[in-house]
Amino acid sequence: MKRLFRSIAFAWQGLSNAWLTQRNFRIEIGIALAATILAIYLRTGLTPVLICVMVVFASELINSSIEALVDLNTQGVHPLAKAAKDYAAAAVLITSFGSLAIGILVLGPALLERILSWL
């Protein structure tokens, strides 16, 4: 049990460090909170929103890990280091765009209906 708690503590340190050092992670948390609140307010499917949030968070943390490892092991500019960082950033971009598309499909109709009811 002690090992489990140590593992959780290390993971929490990783989240805390990401919050403190990764601007995009903080932006993604803000977007995730807005999407979650909107899904609750509109009474739409919360599950797809939460899945998208977790996928984007995970990809951002993996991206940050890859960037840190590349920076640790590379001096100066190297084409393979750039490629590794670009690929990791592209993974975040893909999950973000995919999540945006899912958000539009899940939240869009209910939001449009709510807006039209106000008019």
Which two structure tokens, joined as six digits, stand for 7? 């593992």
pLDDT value for 38: 97
Q: Give, in order, the Cα–Cα distances in Å from 96 to each of 45, 62, 77, 91.
A: 18, 14, 27, 8
DSSP per-residue codes, 10-63: HHHHHHHHHHHH-HHHHHHHHHHHHHHHHHHHHT--HHHHHHHHHHHHHHHHHH
Tens-of-pLDDT digits for all 119 residues of the chain?
A: 899 999 999 999 999 999 999 999 999 999 999 999 999 999 998 999 999 999 999 999 999 999 999 999 988 889 999 999 999 999 999 999 999 999 999 999 999 999 999 98
Residues in the chain: 119
Catalytic residues: 60
Q: What type of residue sits at position 80?
A: L
Question: Do the beta carbons of residue 39 and residue 45 sit within 8 Å?
Answer: yes
**Domains defined for the chain, CATH in brackets:** 23-118 (1.10.287.3610)
In angstroms, the CA 51 to CA 11 distance is 19
